[in-house]
Amino acid sequence: MPEFNPFKIAQAQLDAAAARLGLDPATHELLRWPQIEFKFTLPVEMDDGRTRIFHGYRVQYNSARGPTKGGLRWHPEETIDTVRALAAWMTWKTAVVDIPLGGGKGGVTCNPKEMSEREKQRLARAYMRAVARILSVSKDVPAPDVYTTPQIMAWMMDEYEVLVGEHHPGVITGKPIPLGGSEWMNMKSWWENTIPESSPGNPSPWGGRKAGEMPPPAGGFMLSGKPAKCWGLT
Amino acid sequence: MLGVDLKGKTMAIQGFGNAGQFAALLAHEILGLKLVAASDSKGGILNPRGLDPRQVVEYKLKKGSLQGFPGADPITNEQLLEMEVTVLFPAALENVITDSNASKVRCRISCELANGPTTPEADEILHANNVFVIPDFLANAGGVTVSYFEQVQNTYNFYWPLDEVHRRLDEKMSRAFHGVYQMHQREKVNMRQAAYLVSVARVAEACKLRGWV
């Protein structure tokens, strides 16, 4: 089996669309590659006193429609090609829902399951120090993704604000609610804060909450009790 | 649209992280789908009579995995992907439906919550077998849409009531779905290709208007 490379897949999918749309060669070639990509090393002091060097990435795939937008993945098998592919998919994603943003993605090759909270915080801050100069609400805005959390976003936002000396909550999304985030994003915090116990006989997963108190979910659903129109598959 | 009434029909969820958990609760609550199987990186659980999504989510959050969920049989990730269900949610990582297992995928709808779960070869096979794929960058675009709303509210330092977030999200996602569905019907291409045609045309137009190409 050939080695799996998601970026090759992303390019092949684009090639098919470009052929069907009759894109001119320059536009096609421009869209096949990231506009800008960053790779950097992140020295982080671990709890045992030793310093480990992590490899970090941030890809700004295309900003024609607006500031680039996309998550940060912390995964042991993260590669630049995975980040490139996901940044390309973010470009198509923001375009398909027609929001005025481009596409980007970032990541760190690491295994957060083997890291303490203190180590994660030091890595989060080291990452932000490396990318702060290429981020801003009008340039590029990260978000949580695989194995990154609202807490990690909070540390990163704080590091950014320390560096620039002002409040800029919009530089990163998926933050905890008290820092300007939305409640909808994370099941764990939602569950712990809003649904005390699942009670037998109460068929609603929302527990005893009133409809108006429900946080919006991470997807195209309405919680008004009826499906969003896009789910009218009947 | 597809002539499928989802109420009481079955669903299986591969990957039970944030997206998979929301899918289990919401698709059950809102669409009336019955959760028959779910899996995470350590393996999966199965009960053809139905699992209570609320209890499964609670168990996963408490124990960190699905293993040992009471009243369910173990199932592998591979087996789960090949189950005969109405809706399959690939919600783990990329590259899980490939040319080696696509012909055994027997769902009616594959709603991709993960990014890149299906390879291009597998896509062809699913399309030929009449599996309706809601492609990743359409199906999971609600996340970035609410991220965008968060960013807008941060910039204005003025926060919308929840109803407004719901209304705007519904509007964006519905419009996007119908745009892609129309392209799918008009151009006779699969849903992923249709989504690409819509989005690449928009990005290409912006590049041209800027004078880049």
**Sorting pLDDT into bands at 50, 70 and 90, what band is A192?**
low
Judgement on whether residues B89 and B171 belong to the same structural domain of the protein: no
Question: What pLDDT, on the 0 to 100 scale, is given for residue B163?
Answer: 81
Is residue A190 over pLDDT 80?
Answer: no
Judgement on whether residues B77 and B25 belong to the same structural domain of the protein: yes
Is residue A21 over pLDDT 80?
Answer: yes
CA distance A205 to A213: 13
Question: What pLDDT, on the 0 to 100 scale, is given for residue A232?
Answer: 35
CA distance A65 to chain B (A): 6
- For residue A16, which of B133, B200, B79 has the smallest C-alpha distance? B200
Question: What pLDDT, on the 0 to 100 scale, is given for residue B165?
Answer: 86
Question: What pLDDT, on the 0 to 100 scale, is given for residue B164?
Answer: 87
Judgement on whether residues B84 and B171 belong to the same structural domain of the protein: no
Q: Classify strands B43-51 and B34-40 as parallel, antiparallel or unpaired.
A: antiparallel
Do B127 and B133 touch, CB atoms closer than 8 A? yes
Q: B183 to each of A71, B171, B198, how far by Cα in Å? A: 28, 18, 7
- What is the pLDDT averaged over residues A86-113? 97
Is residue A209 over pLDDT 80?
Answer: no
Place of tokens 């569950």: A191
- For residue B202, which of A14, A65, A36 has the smallest C-alpha distance? A65
Question: What pLDDT, on the 0 to 100 scale, is given for residue A186?
Answer: 63
Judgement on whether residues B56 and B88 belong to the same structural domain of the protein: yes
Q: Residue B173: which of A82, A89, A97 has the nearest Cβ?
A: A97
B33-82: pLDDT as tens digits? 999 999 999 999 999 999 999 999 999 999 999 999 999 999 999 999 99
A207 vs B63 pLDDT, higher one: B63
Judgement on whether residues B92 and B20 belong to the same structural domain of the protein: yes
Question: What pLDDT, on the 0 to 100 scale, is given for residue A198?
Answer: 39
Whether residue B170 lies within 8 A of chain A, CB to CB, comes out as yes
Judgement on whether residues B66 and B98 belong to the same structural domain of the protein: yes
Is residue A167 over pLDDT 90?
Answer: yes
Kindly report the average pLDDT of chain A as a whole number: 84
Active site residue A105: yes
Whether residue A173 lies within 8 A of chain B, CB to CB, comes out as yes
Positions in chain B short of pLDDT 50: none
CA distance B125 to chain A (A): 15
Separation of first and last alpha carbons in chain B:
39
Judgement on whether residues B127 and B172 belong to the same structural domain of the protein: no
CA distance B8 to chain A (A): 13
- What is the pLDDT averaged over residues A134-141? 96
CA distance A58 to A140: 10
Instruction: Give the orientation angle of helix A6-21 with respect to helix A25-32, to 10 degrees.
Output: 160
Could you give the percent of chain A with pLDDT greater than 90? 71
Spell A43-72 as b/e; 16+ CB within 10 A means b. ebeeeeeeeeebebbbbbbbbbbbbbbbbb
Q: Residue B176: which of A85, A96, A170 has the nearest Cβ?
A: A96
Residues of B within 8 A of A93 (CB-CB) are 137-138, 140-141, 144, 199
CA distance A93 to B199: 7
Question: What pLDDT, on the 0 to 100 scale, is given for residue A189?
Answer: 64
Whether residue B128 lies within 8 A of chain A, CB to CB, comes out as no
Question: What pLDDT, on the 0 to 100 scale, is given for residue B110?
Answer: 97
Judgement on whether residues B17 and B49 belong to the same structural domain of the protein: yes
Residues spanned by the domain of B204: 162-209
Judgement on whether residues B100 and B174 belong to the same structural domain of the protein: no
Is residue A96 over pLDDT 50?
Answer: yes
Q: How many domains does chain B have?
A: 2
Is residue A97 over pLDDT 80?
Answer: yes
- What is the pLDDT averaged over residues A115-124? 98
Is residue A34 over pLDDT 50?
Answer: yes
- For residue B134, which of B167, B188, B90 has the smallest C-alpha distance? B90
Question: What pLDDT, on the 0 to 100 scale, is given for residue A185?
Answer: 57
Size of interface A-B (CB pairs under 8 A): 257
**Sorting pLDDT into bands at 50, 70 and 90, what band is A197?**
very low
Whether residue A23 lies within 8 A of chain B, CB to CB, comes out as yes
Question: What pLDDT, on the 0 to 100 scale, is given for residue A199?
Answer: 41
**Sorting pLDDT into bands at 50, 70 and 90, what band is A194?**
low
Q: What is the CA A205 to chain-centroid distance, rounded?
A: 26
Judgement on whether residues B201 and B130 belong to the same structural domain of the protein: no
CA distance A187 to A206: 12
**CATH number of the structural domain spanning residue B17:** 3.40.50.720
Residues of B within 8 A of A227 (CB-CB) are 30-31
Compute the half-sphere exposure of residue A180: CA atoms within 13 Å on the CB side of its CA. Answer: 23
Judgement on whether residues B130 and B182 belong to the same structural domain of the protein: no
Whether residue A150 lies within 8 A of chain B, CB to CB, comes out as no
